[in-house]
Amino acid sequence: MEKPFSQACENNKRPILDILKRAFAHTQKVLEIGSGTGQHASYLAAHLPHLTWHTSDQYEYHDGINAWISESSLSNLIQPVEFKVGVDPFPALPFDGIFSANTAHIMQKHEAKLLMELVSQKLPKGGTFCQYGPFTQSGIYSSQSNAEFHQSLVERGYGGYRDIDELEAWAKRLTLKEMITMPANNLMLVWTKE
């Protein structure tokens, strides 16, 4: 099959890698929630060879993810497990890090809440959760284009942007250690579980 391709993934993969090199420096096994096209997984696993990278997503995306995995021929990149928040059980895999990019604003509010609660519960002590995407801070959008994008998401039936205050309230066992400004009005939130 022809590999799926996202221009946004292509644009942001290097800035994301720069953060993960540091955030996951002492991490051994990462669970990626919402692997999407599979682009991030193949790029990040190739550049973070000390990690075992577990992919996960809804079943309909598995063929595309597997196409990227197959082409990459990486021994540290693992085929996806089926996981949709609120439908499938949380993946029963060994991990000490979690990565998720551009998922919270696609999910409905109750799904985003459940995601944060699950990560808060399942991430082992000392683990790191790196969450990338667009968010609001105290209800404020970082740009007019972000406000417009949120509105378009809601109109298309998605949940829209989540506020960092909400995420912190839902992730009771996690501490938001860093909030890093990324290209295209996105943020990387680095959470830890002490």
- Mean pLDDT per block of 10 residues along the chain (194 residues) reads 91 97 98 98 98 98 98 97 97 97 97 98 98 96 94 96 98 98 96 95
- Domain 7-192 class? alpha beta
Return the pLDDT at 155.
97
Sequence spans of domains, the chain: 7-192
Q: For residue 179, give the amino acid letter.
A: M
Q: Within 13 A of 15's CA, how many CA atoms are on the CB side?
A: 17
**pTM given for the model:** 0.97
Return the pLDDT at 76.
98
Return the pLDDT at 29.
98
Residue with tokens 């993810």: 65
Residue with tokens 């540091």: 22
Return the pLDDT at 194.
86
User: Is the distance from CB of 115 to CB of 104 less than 8 angstroms?
Assistant: yes
Beta-carbon contacts of residue 110 (< 8 Å; ≥ 6 apart):
86
